[in-house]
Amino acid sequence: MKCVILAGGLGTRISEETHNKPKPMVEIDGKPILWHLMKIFSNYGVNDFIICCGYKKEIIQNYVETLDESWKINAVDTGENTMTGGRLKRVEKLLNDETFCFTYGDTLNDLNIAKLIEFHKSKNNVATVTACQPPEKYGILEIDDSKVIEFKEKPINEGKWVNGGFFVLESSIFNYIKGDETSWEKEPMEQLIKEGKLNAFKHYGFYKPMDSISDRNYLENLCKLNQAHWKVWK
């Protein structure tokens, strides 16, 4: 099975790192987050990657040529200004009407990819999204009268599910994408939901997108503490 990775955005919210490199090339524990992501998929036998490049594409294209891994990687220029759905549309011909994985190039988790794929196939539907429960942005105070009786350091936001960024899709998904101007998170997902064509695979484990420099530092610190939960590979 192939995995398509979005890696073409500007990464403006982490501009401290992305002024001279694309966001997926920002390093965690000495390796680009893109490498960590491919290692997760490779652990479950997904070793054929299509990387949708855009901003500073040559950095990713040059990097993948240096990798000493048993992976097949096609780093495709999908345009600097193309939207997320449009990037996926541009690599349609490389997918040969197959079922495939699709994800963002900046999000890590300890998801069991094999179980995600198995779930998708069991539903016989067009698309599956991994639903995750992110931690609250701030710690929570429990207050009785004027006294603090408990403090929870960024607890899991129970009951609220978000797009965890790991998808399994059928080739018919391309019928939902018009062109470069299509944002994956808008018309395609909205239409899939309207038609009942999008299933959710609930993931209760670790999940962390790298949206800011503080997120990068958090992931780096987990590595230093030997708590990098996404490192499911041996």
pLDDT tens-digit series, residues 165-223: 999 999 999 999 999 999 999 999 999 999 999 999 999 999 999 999 999 999 999 99
119-150, pLDDT tens digit by residue? Answer: 999 999 999 999 998 776 656 667 777 777 77
Greatest Cα pair distance, the chain, in angstroms, is: 63
CB 103 within 8 A of CB 165: yes
Q: Can you list the domains of the chain with their CATH numbers?
A: 2-224 (3.90.550.10)
- Token pair for residue 155? 């607890």
- Token pair for residue 93? 């011909």
- C-alpha span between 163 and 136 (Å, rounded): 15
Q: Which residues of 127-163 are buried (b: 16+ CB within 10 A; e: fewer)?
A: bbbbbbbeeeeeeeeeeeeeeeeeeeeeeeeeeeeeb
Q: Which residues contact 208 (CB under 8 A, 6 or more apart)?
A: 107, 108, 109, 215, 218, 219, 230
- C-alpha span between 206 and 7 (Å, rounded): 22
Exposed/middle/buried for residue 120 (C-beta within 10 Å: 0-12, 13-18, 19+): buried
232 pLDDT higher than 70:
yes
Q: Which residues contact 180 (CB under 8 A, 6 or more apart)?
A: 79, 81, 82, 83, 86, 89, 90
Average pLDDT value over all residues in the chain: 92
pLDDT of residue 105: 96
pLDDT of residue 202: 94
The DSSP bridge partners found for residue 141 are 151
Mean pLDDT of 55-77: 97
* pLDDT band per the 50, 70, 90 thresholds, residue 160: confident
- Residue 112 neighbours by CB distance under 10 Å: 17
Nearest residue to 165 via CA among 1, 6, 33? 6
pLDDT of residue 157: 62
- C-alpha span between 213 and 229 (Å, rounded): 19
Q: Cα 61–49–32 angle (5° rounding)?
A: 55
